[in-house]
Amino acid sequence: MSQLPGYDDTPFLTNWPYRVHDCNRPQPRIVTPGAPPSSDCILPAPSDAVMLFDGSSLDGWKSRDGGPAGWKVENGYMEVVAKTGDISTLAEFGDCQLHLEWMAPAVVIGDSQGRGNSGVFLQGIYEIQVLDCYENPTYADGTVGALYGQTPPLVNASRKPGEWQSYDIIWEGPRFDGDTVVRPAAVTVILNGVLLHHRWELIGATGHKKVGIYEPHPPVGPLKLQDHGNPVRFRNIWYRPLTGYDTP
């Protein structure tokens, strides 16, 4: 029997021989990324980028109930404050190029899903997992860079806890005709310069211990960051709308 965390009683994923959060699903192989940037080295955003967090305040963010975001801001980053809840951007957008940088706590506490856990929810619905997966095995579809509950990353390109890591994401949201999905969402994800997913189609919205399904929603939505109880840090968050393609 597998000793890895996970489940053996969840539903099977469509077209896969694995269950949601399957404890026996193969782990992504480990790839060592390039050297991390220094703590004070933040690359400037492109000239046409929309800045979502520049390190100074959370004025462009809100809490789950619509009030002010309750996370901490200092030294150019925001940090999750446990039990204050998820936060979301006031800005709503769809297809985009998204960049953000994050750091798992330098002091390691917990293991598996209890260690440096957060999440990046595109349009507030579809999660790219944030997790400290440096020498920290967990179920494959919940590892860092996973399309949570759906698809593991091609590789595990984690840096050590306490080092800055970067996501570069190309997001193409789903298209609906009434209740019918006419184009599934697709995403390309790069972690620390290493490709994790290439225009991979999602099977639906993110869920825990259940198979995700699509439910019709507007073509735009906020960026949501998750409070999973760990003091994960974020900085340098911006996006560029994808223009010149089909638009909703």
Model confidence pLDDT, tens digit, residues 184-213: 999 999 999 999 999 999 999 999 999 999
Task: Please check the confidence at residue 245 and state whether its pLDDT lies above 70.
Answer: no
Q: What average pLDDT does the segment 216-230 reach? A: 97
> Which domains, from first to last, does the chain contain?
29-241 (2.60.120.560)
CA nearest to 31, candidates 114, 127, 145, 120: 145
| pLDDT of the residue at 37 | 73
Question: 238 near 47, Cβ under 8 Å?
Answer: no
SS (H, E, C) 188-222: EEEECCEEEEEEEECCCCCCCCCCCCCCCCCCCEC
How far is 188 from 84, CA to CA, in rounded Å?
30
How far is 99 from 170, CA to CA, in rounded Å?
9
Model confidence pLDDT, tens digit, residues 39-78: 677 888 999 999 999 999 999 999 999 999 999 999 999 9
pTM of the model: 0.93
